[in-house]
């Protein structure tokens, strides 16, 4: 009876183990089948390699998703009790002096299969280079604890009382960002030497960072093992870890090993010495942007680069990559890279432009049915060790737009016309005809169309698109916006459309706004009226509940002559009325716009014979007539007798106009008659602009005039002239 029971229990155990293996294989197959788009890692072997150390089990496998062709995946380990690593080569280094961006997808297993400890993204300058890995303490021949993730120190020596010696077992000169899927929270006397305590006082599942080779990263816990009444004593130790920049998801505590791909973005800012990492910021199925979880931490370059700081032109090289380590529990840890820092550096962004307003939409901005829109994808090549070639765009265009045409504009002036015949459900695949490089550094992919007709406000969500090559994958998300139903907006002026005022007279303009949407008059839309007087904007006018507007205008706001008031009603949804104009004519006036208060004649040598002395400097005399173009005026001038050193002079002031030479005396003399058009230069006429060097006001001196300072006072006067 006992034998039969034992046999049955062994069979049950074997079935359970077999079930775990089947689940793990199914999990791995599903990960390959749903893999997002990534780069070809084999093609980039000069920059990234899995040929690190003979202790690493990391391999490169091909994705099985037909929607992401050419994607290759880093499989960090395959079995229990394995270490895995992929590192950048000497050519694929990260330069700490420059802004660096990493973009990748990570797969961290499934709760349906045994969860391993996770993996870590690592920056390092370990002397071992490509062979860098965490190691057991000297002389201890045991398997590496999985909580090290291949990078942290190995806490598997019970009598290790030195945090400094503990840190020496980690990858040296390093910073690590861990994705911890298994809680290591063992405490108490039994924890010493087990390597299972790093997560004491930490959330069971988390993302966190710190320096693996710094003793300050580890927190020591001591257990007194004394016996025989204290005659013999011994202290054992175990260590927890100081987690920096922690990310957890309170709504979904097991947010890492979900059986799904997770997007990871990292950005290094050398100016602030900060690394920002964002997890789950894109949807693996749609590529649409997500809020994600984000943290920013400071990284001290001296702790990962012993040669820091470097000379001005010398790069600060750091090796980067991923590590992992498994224990008895084993699950898949996979990585898909979208870029290699420094290989192809591009900036990408998308925008939706309201063509009529010539303005890019901000998130949740609104347009109106029928508005012409432009969806633009910008690809900007900044630098790199190679060109961005054979770019293929998988575009998911925003809903709510009836697309009419498309094109690609390149930085070198070339244009690629696109056909919309291949578009299905607003999705289209495009191959760019030209590569991007230093000499052809931009491509702008434009889709033009009109906002569709809607009966009620429609929210158009942001959608993501991808731009791929064998060495670079970039993503662009469009802006979320709203489409509002088209409303008819009618603005009527109920005061006179043409107003005549006396000088210094105020006035008030009255109007009424009627808004109709889908036949419903008086729609509850916020409406205002934009006003401009003589092309200068005024404050927006509110519209009362009964649709009335009232605009008081002060005389000081109006100029003599014709004033044009422009009014246009606009709704909160973006609809607008036709522009309405009101002409306001203010009785004009005839006046001097400018008269020089004091001017000079040229200095010269008297010849002893009659001579004309020309003007010096820039004399100014301007007339302004805003009474209308059918009005004429006359300009008269008079001058006091000419003196020299305050004594009567042998000469006179004359006004020369063509063949006419008029002597100016104490009696006003008409020198000019004309009319001004108030629509031209506001009715202003610059008299002195028509003077030449030998016309206008001059001094006429007789022969025998003596040298000295000549003076006179000229008085100008204006009069109405008969028509």
The one-character DSSP state at 412 is T
| pLDDT of 514 over the 50 cut | yes
Q: What CATH code is carried by the domain that includes residue 433?
A: 2.60.40.740
210 belongs to a structural domain: no
pLDDT at 230: 52
166 belongs to a structural domain: no
225 belongs to a structural domain: no
Do 442 and 504 share a domain, yes or no?
no
Please give the model's pTM, rounded to 2 decimal places.
0.70
Say how far apart CA 661 and CA 507 lie, in whole Å.
49
Task: Express each pLDDT in 368-399 by its tens digit.
Answer: 899 999 999 999 999 998 999 999 999 999 99
Do 23 and 134 share a domain, yes or no?
yes
- Residues 616, 602 contacting (CB under 8 angstroms): yes
Say how far apart CA 256 and CA 181 lie, in whole Å.
6
Do 579 and 595 share a domain, yes or no?
no
Do 574 and 642 share a domain, yes or no?
no
Do 601 and 582 share a domain, yes or no?
no
Last-in-domain residue among 337, 365, 388:
337
The CA-atom distances, in angstroms, between 208 and each of 144, 244, 255, 326 are 21, 6, 14, 19
Total number of domains constituting the chain? 4
Do 644 and 706 share a domain, yes or no?
yes
Percent of the chain with pLDDT strictly greater than 90: 72
140 pLDDT band, cuts 50/70/90, is: low
Higher pLDDT, 7 or 223: 223
Do 384 and 454 share a domain, yes or no?
yes
Last-in-domain residue among 586, 615, 639:
586
31 belongs to a structural domain: yes
42 pLDDT band, cuts 50/70/90, is: confident
**Terminal CA-CA length for the chain:** 137
Q: What CATH code is carried by the domain that includes residue 577?
A: 2.60.40.10
Closest by Cα among 661, 417, 463, 454 to 574: 454
Last-in-domain residue among 300, 317, 337:
337
Closest by Cα among 638, 626, 637, 635 to 718: 635
Do 548 and 577 share a domain, yes or no?
yes
| pLDDT of 25 over the 70 cut | no
Most confidently predicted of 23-37, 103-117, 242-256, 327-341: 242-256
Residue that is written with structure tokens 């307003």 in the block: 357
Segment 312-323 shows an average pLDDT of 95
Per-position DSSP letters for 458-472, written without gaps between them: EEE---EEEEE-SS-
Do 544 and 650 share a domain, yes or no?
no
pLDDT at 12: 38
pLDDT at 136: 85
17 pLDDT band, cuts 50/70/90, is: very low
pLDDT at 33: 96
Q: What CATH code is carried by the domain that includes residue 268?
A: 2.60.120.200
211 belongs to a structural domain: no
191 belongs to a structural domain: no
Burial of 492 (0-12, 13-18, 19+ CB in 10 A): middle
Do 403 and 442 share a domain, yes or no?
yes
pLDDT at 449: 98
* Separation of CA 612 from chain center: 69
Q: What is the 3-state secondary structure (H, E, C) of 49-92?
A: ECCCCCCECCEEEECCCCCCCCCEEEECCCCCCCEEEEEECHHH
Helix/strand/coil for 149: coil
pLDDT at 139: 59
Do 43 and 85 share a domain, yes or no?
yes
Task: Express each pLDDT in 282-292 by its tens digit.
Answer: 999 989 999 99
Do 554 and 620 share a domain, yes or no?
no
Burial of 586 (0-12, 13-18, 19+ CB in 10 A): buried
Structure tokens at 280: 């789950």
For residues 228, 229, 230, 232, the Cα torsion angle rounded to the nearest 10 degrees is -10
Question: What is the average pLDDT score of the chain?
Answer: 90
Q: What CATH code is carried by the domain that includes residue 700?
A: 2.60.40
Domain enclosing residue 108, as ranges: 2-154+171-184+242-337
pLDDT at 53: 84
| pLDDT of 561 over the 90 cut | no
205 belongs to a structural domain: no
Closest by Cα among 121, 587, 101, 576 to 348: 101
506 belongs to a structural domain: yes
Q: What is the 3-state secondary structure (H, E, C) of 151-211?
A: CCCCCCCCCCCCHHHHHCCCCCCEEEEEEECCCCCCCCHHHCCCCCCCCCCCCCCEEEEEC
């Amino acid at each position: 009876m006992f034998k039969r029971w034992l046999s049955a229990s062994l069979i049950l155990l074997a079935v359970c183990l077999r079930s775990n293996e089947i689940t793990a294989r199914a999990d791995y197959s599903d990960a390959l089948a749903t893999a997002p788009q990534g780069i070809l890692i084999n093609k980039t072997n000069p920059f990234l390699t899995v040929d690190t150390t003979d202790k690493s089990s990391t391999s490169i496998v091909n994705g099985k998703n037909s929607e992401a062709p050419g994607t290759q995946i880093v499989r960090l380990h395959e079995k229990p009790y394995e270490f895995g690593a992929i590192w950048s080569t000497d050519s694929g280094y990260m330069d700490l002096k420059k802004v660096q961006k990493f973009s990748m997808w990570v797969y961290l297993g499934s709760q349906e299969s045994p969860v391993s400890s996770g993996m870590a993204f690592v920056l390092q300058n370990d002397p071992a280079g490509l062979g860098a890995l965490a190691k057991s303490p000297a002389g201890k021949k045991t398997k590496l604890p999985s909580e090290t993730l291949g990078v942290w120190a190995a806490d598997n020596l019970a009598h290790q009382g030195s945090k400094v010696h503990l840190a020496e077992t980690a990858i040296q000169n390093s910073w690590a960002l861990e994705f911890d899927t298994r809680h290591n929270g063992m405490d108490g006397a039994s924890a010493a030497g087990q390597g299972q305590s790093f997560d004491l006082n930490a959330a069971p599942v988390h993302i966190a960072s710190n320096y693996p080779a710094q003793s300050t990263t580890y927190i020591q816990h001591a257990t007194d093992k004394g016996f025989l009444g204290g005659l013999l004593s011994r202290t054992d130790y175990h260590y927890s870890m100081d987690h920096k920049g922690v990310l957890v998801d309170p709504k979904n505590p097991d947010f890492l090993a979900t059986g799904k791909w997770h997007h990871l973005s990292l950005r290094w800012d050398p100016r602030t010495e900060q690394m920002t990492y964002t997890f789950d910021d894109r949807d693996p199925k749609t590529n649409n942007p997500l809020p994600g979880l984000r943290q920013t931490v400071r990284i001290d370059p001296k702790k990962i680069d012993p040669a820091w700081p470097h000379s001005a032109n010398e790069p600060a090289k750091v090796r980067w990559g991923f590590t992992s380590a498994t224990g008895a529990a084993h699950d898949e840890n996979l990585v898909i890279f979208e870029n290699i820092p420094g290989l192809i550096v591009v900036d990408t962004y998308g925008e939706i432009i309201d063509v009529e307003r010539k303005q890019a939409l901000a998130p949740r901005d609104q347009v109106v049915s029928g508005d012409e829109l432009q969806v633009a994808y910008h690809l900007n090549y900044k630098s790199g060790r190679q060109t961005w070639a054979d770019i293929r765009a998988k575009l998911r265009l925003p809903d709510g737009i009836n697309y009419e045409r498309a094109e690609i504009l390149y930085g070198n002036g070339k244009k690629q016309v696109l056909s919309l015949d291949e578009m299905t459900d607003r999705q289209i695949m495009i191959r760019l005809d030209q590569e991007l490089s230093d000499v052809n550094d931009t491509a702008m992919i434009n889709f033009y169309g009109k906002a569709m007709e809607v009966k009620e406000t429609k929210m158009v969500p942001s959608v993501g698109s991808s731009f791929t090559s064998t060495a670079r994958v970039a993503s662009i998300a469009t802006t979320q916006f709203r489409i509002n139903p088209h409303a008819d907006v009618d603005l009527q002026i109920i005061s006179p459309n043409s107003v005549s005022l006396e000088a210094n007279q105020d006035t008030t303009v009255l109007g009424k706004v009627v808004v109709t949407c889908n036949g419903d008059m008086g729609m509850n839309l916020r409406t205002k009226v934009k006003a401009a007087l003589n092309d200068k904007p005024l404050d927006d006018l509110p519209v009362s509940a009964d649709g009335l507007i009232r605009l008081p205008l002060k005389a000081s706001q109006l100029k003599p002559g014709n004033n044009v008031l422009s009014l246009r009603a606009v709704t909160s949804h973006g609809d607008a009325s036709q522009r309405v104009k009101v002409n306001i004519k203010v009785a004009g006036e005839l006046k001097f716009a400018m008269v020089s208060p004091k001017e000079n004649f040229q200095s010269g040598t008297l010849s002893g014979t009659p001579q004309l002395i020309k003007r010096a400097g820039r004399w100014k005399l301007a007339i302004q007539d805003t009474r209308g173009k059918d009005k004429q005026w006359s300009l008269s001038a008079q001058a006091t007798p000419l003196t020299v050193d305050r004594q009567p002079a042998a000469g006179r002031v004359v006004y020369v106009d063509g063949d006419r030479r008029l002597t100016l005396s104490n009696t006003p003399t008409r020198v000019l008659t004309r009319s001004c058009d108030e629509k031209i230069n506001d009715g202003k006429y610059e008299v002195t602009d028509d003077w030449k060097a030998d016309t206008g006001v001059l001094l006429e001196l007789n022969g025998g005039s003596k040298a000295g300072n000549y003076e006179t006072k000229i008085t100008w006067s204006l009069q109405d002239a008969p028509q």
